[in-house]
Structure 1
């Protein structure tokens, strides 16, 4: 059975309206056809399965919500839809490409937002996909398969956003090591870390008002390709301001973080989604403790070298000891 089966509860489990915080999870992998994937998820969770297009299936599960199951290749999806609309044998054309996709094109299961205390219900889905033959990051040098976590923010305000930014910025290099991020993902542009200068700005300035937070983030991170992508969250607050800086139709406004570091190692018996979540949990822990944030921020500045920037090797060692001293590592 996988280790870390328990999803750790963060310090803040409810939003300011009293409703439980939820997490959306996106799981990327290969090794199966679209139909095999949909069948495995339905067998694990039950529910009613429907076909929305040649490249997408939808599963409605009572008590959880809507699971979208799709081939994660925009060109493939566009061509299949066009063939269907023009009655040019889209289904047959798609079936052939779906077989090829099991080798090179990621499949994606996009889970509905699920209360943190209910995330354990996804274990059956992961086990079912593993038994069906799903394989993850390490089995394809061509696609940087991963797990995306989309936890709802507790409070949609500058102070809370700033605390999470500082927490992740200070931990980001350590998290890459802790997740053992695969080389194919490290060299991809999709999970770039925040620039060192931006992290230094975060820890040295006073907590910014929302306007300054927008200015600083968009100046240093005007791209979706970040390990912690805040553009969906910022778009929820002011979509027009985000679009003025970043022209990308894939940015979807939502009151969540978009954390993209974890590998998908679904083929391994000792891997689980809980392991990925429990490393993000460290960001939750640190973000909720202003005194600890200030202490680690001060240590970060001490590890900064004029002209050379952060001494990353020494910083990684320091963060590891610091987390262990608090029983978090």
Structure 2
């Protein structure tokens, strides 16, 4: 399957927009995962520690692959630099493999150069990679980091409103695994924030910061805006959220999709194409206004908007538009 293109494919500077992907899975050692990564994408392996590698490709940039456990990564890096402590790192590494995911992090890739990623998925699957459904306790997912067309408050607000209107529908459309639905890592925007957002017609960056950080002072959101806000004003973000994992970049951090790499026929287009529904709505301010009015009018005293009713309504609307 080919990756769908969003309505706006270029940045305000005329460059093709870029997107990065993060893929979490188990079933393979780092060395086993490196084999398909190198065979499909080519490139040179750079070992950084026992649990972190890079694969530098000529055309797409450097892919990072690691065991996604910060404590172990710190221990492994120290052992690698000091040439000491390797035995402890090896014990922790072996203990972590069944429950801690490997993570492949792609560089930002232009939208018109994404196809090699879909060659990588079946190669990893053939090697034995397992995703979300393989663990009852681990919430493995796919993270999508799409670059914005521009960093104006108006554009960011349009994306926020589009996602807020679609978030309940997206959970169903992605068929998010119950384990991940219950995890704190992909919490949806609270309804109080959604109502505040949809009632706000300003395009003021200060107000955007204040409103978002008041209602969402955490990385644990299905659509995490903190990397983007840190790109614009890192000090303001860190005054509210001191998490060192926040990395400034001109992208959203979309964390909702499962990793279904073990399923035949699954690839990254399944996750990306649903994100593109957000892209289409974000590019249509008139549609946002119409749907926002419908959402706000459907609120019931004390109990808010009926989720099932809204999902049914938004599903019908999307079908009527031919977007799904």
Smaller-chain TM-score bracket: over 0.9
Flag as ranges the 4+ runs of structure 1 deviating above 4 A: none
The match for 1:126 is: 121
Residue 246 of structure 1 pairs with residue 241 of structure 2: yes
CA RMSD of aligned residues (A): 1.2
List aligned pairs for 1:59-78, cutoff 5 A: 59-78=55-74
CA distance in 2, matches of 1:191, 1:87: 38
The match for 1:206 is: 201
Conserved? CA contact 2:30–2:66, under 8 Å: yes
Unaligned runs of 5+ in 1: none
Scaled by the length of structure 1, the TM-score of the pair is 0.96
The match for 2:260 is: 265
The match for 2:38 is: 42
- 1:144 deviation in Å? 0.7
Q: How many residues are paired up?
A: 324
1:68 alignment partner, SS class? strand
CA distance in 2, matches of 1:117, 1:263: 24
Q: Which moved more, 1:97-106 or 1:261-270?
A: 97-106
CA distance in 2, matches of 1:218, 1:287: 21
Conserved? CA contact 2:48–2:80, under 8 Å: no
Residue 328 of structure 1 pairs with residue 323 of structure 2: yes
The match for 1:151 is: 146
The match for 1:79 is: 75
The match for 2:219 is: 224
2:300 paired residue among 296, 300, 305? 305
- 1:89 deviation in Å? 4.5
The match for 1:288 is: 283
CA distance in 2, matches of 1:6, 1:290: 27
The match for 2:130 is: 135
Scaled by the length of structure 2, the TM-score of the pair is 0.97
Residue 275 of structure 1 pairs with residue 275 of structure 2: no
1:58 paired residue among 47, 54, 58? 54
The match for 2:228 is: 233
* 1:163-192 per-position Cα deviation (integer Å, ceiling 9, x unaligned): 000000000000001101111111111000
2:257 alignment partner, SS class? coil
- 1:102 deviation in Å? 3.1
- 1:60 deviation in Å? 0.8
